[in-house]
């Protein structure tokens, strides 16, 4: 296992370790002097790195998604660590372990996928059941579904994250429909299983989590609309009106135009599903922030996805309870 990880870099120090290159570019200072800027990462996160001198030879052979060995000085700039690179070279294959560089769900992926198949099989509407089970049983889709993250940064941004997110939504769909009986649980379940299937092609996740060219140009909503529409067309007799409803569930699930939805949710189930998806995403981002060591007892690390820190409520309540107990008068003092 490599050391240190990105999350260990919270004070000025000298390090020699391995990273994965997420971004590479040559920039110029205000005075016009070129320098190398890299975004480096491992399974714990990413960090910006800069090399100011004699980087030409080393940088020539290094590209995005390469593993590199660095000797660097950790500097704290605007309360965030960054690296000043002193030496840089390509890592040798035998020097790196892929498990150090891509975060992975802690859940058993095969068990999660078996749960997904059970959820898909529980759909009562025969057309929707055939659609959902048909898509996830495709060997090419299933293999990617088991590995894909749900996002690059925002939430469930690790291998297996998409599957974890979808299983959570399937369970939520049953609970929401039980509480609001006017909602069609089959539509909610179908949306949960298919709403991010476009991310299987939008994202690349072999070495680093990033975007494919098609993903950059089209986005997952457009990509999954095409995939799911073709699947519905391949099912003989699939009702045209139901096809339209499924398409609307997919293209409206981001909820607002500014969040990338081509249409606002205009079906009750579409509205409910948007908020289900949003809630699960945001709680996952909060969970990730609280899981990181922030250096503060009562506050989480800053969540870039949500633009805030989170109070560690259990720690806060524990400390206030302890203070209250300290202030309780000792009756023996008055005897």
Q: Is the pTM of this model over 0.85?
A: no
Superfamily of domain covering 6-100: Nucleic acid-binding proteins (2.40.50.140)
326 has pLDDT over 80: no
pLDDT band at 173 (very low <50, low <70, confident <90, very high): very high
- What is the gyration radius of the CA atoms in the chain, in angstroms? 24
Tokens of 167: 């299983």
pLDDT at residue 331 in the model: 60
Residue ranges covered by each domain of the chain: 6-100, 109-287
What is the pLDDT averaged over residues 104-126?
93
pLDDT at residue 322 in the model: 61
Identify whether the C-beta of residue 148 lies closer than 8 Å to the C-beta of residue 199: yes
pLDDT band at 160 (very low <50, low <70, confident <90, very high): confident
Q: Out of 82-91, 171-180, 287-296, give the one with best mean pLDDT.
A: 171-180
More confident residue, 125 or 155: 125
pLDDT band at 159 (very low <50, low <70, confident <90, very high): confident
More confident residue, 11 or 314: 314
259 has pLDDT over 90: no
188 has pLDDT over 90: yes
Over the range 80-103, which residues count as b (16 or more CB within 10 Å of their CB) and which as e? ebbbebeebeebeeeebeeebbbb
With pLDDT > 90 as the criterion, what percentage of the chain qualifies? Answer: 57
71 has pLDDT over 90: yes
More confident residue, 210 or 24: 24
284 has pLDDT over 80: yes
286-308 tens-digit pLDDT? 988 898 777 788 899 888 888 89
pLDDT at residue 330 in the model: 62
What is the pLDDT averaged over residues 75-82?
85
What is the pLDDT averaged over residues 157-161?
83
pLDDT at residue 205 in the model: 77
pLDDT at residue 48 in the model: 93
How would you classify the pairing of strands 45-51 and 67-77?
unpaired
Enumerate residues 6+ apart whose C-beta is below 8 A from 246. Answer: 128, 131, 187, 190, 191, 194, 228, 232
**Preceding amide of 4 cis, omega within 30:** yes
pLDDT band at 327 (very low <50, low <70, confident <90, very high): low
Mean of the per-residue pLDDT values of the chain? 89
Identify whether the C-beta of residue 49 lies closer than 8 Å to the C-beta of residue 37: yes
More confident residue, 135 or 54: 135
pLDDT at residue 153 in the model: 63
């Amino acid at each position: 296992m490599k050391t240190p990880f990105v999350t260990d870099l919270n004070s000025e120090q000298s390090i020699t370790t391995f990273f994965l290159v997420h971004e590479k570019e040559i920039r110029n200072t205000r005075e016009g002097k070129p320098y190398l800027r890299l975004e480096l990462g491992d399974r714990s996160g990413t960090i910006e790195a800069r090399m100011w001198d004699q980087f030409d030879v080393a940088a020539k052979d290094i590209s995005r998604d390469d593993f590199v060995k660095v000797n660097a000085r950790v500097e704290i700039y605007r309360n965030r660590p960054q690296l000043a690179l002193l030496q840089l070279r390509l890592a040798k294959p035998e020097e790196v372990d892929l498990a150090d560089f891509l975060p992975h769900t802690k859940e058993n992926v095969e068990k999660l996928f078996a749960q997904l198949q059970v959820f898909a099989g529980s759909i009562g509407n025969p057309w929707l059941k055939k659609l959902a089970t048909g898509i996830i049983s495709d060997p090419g889709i299933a293999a990617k579904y088991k590995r894909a993250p749900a996002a690059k940064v925002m939430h469930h941004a690790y291998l297996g994250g998409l599957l974890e997110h979808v299983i959570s939504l399937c369970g939520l769909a049953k609970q929401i429909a039980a509480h609001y009986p006017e909602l069609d649980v089959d539509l909610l379940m179908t949306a949960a299983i298919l709403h991010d299937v476009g991310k299987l092609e939008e994202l690349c996740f072999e070495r680093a989590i990033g975007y494919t060219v098609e993903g950059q140009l089209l986005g997952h909503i457009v990509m999954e609309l095409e995939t799911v529409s073709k699947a519905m067309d391949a099912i003989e007799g699939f009702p045209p009106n139901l096809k339209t409803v499924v398409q609307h569930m997919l293209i409206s699930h981001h909820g607002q135009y500014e969040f990338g939805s081509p249409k606002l949710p205009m079906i009750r189930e579409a509205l409910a599903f948007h908020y289900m998806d949003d809630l699960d995403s945001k709680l996952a981002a909060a969970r990730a922030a609280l899981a990181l060591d922030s250096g503060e007892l009562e506050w989480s690390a800053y969540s870039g996805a949500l633009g805030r820190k989170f109070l560690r409520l259990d720690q806060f309540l524990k400390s206030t309870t302890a203070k209250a107990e300290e202030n309780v008068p000792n009756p023996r003092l008055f005897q």
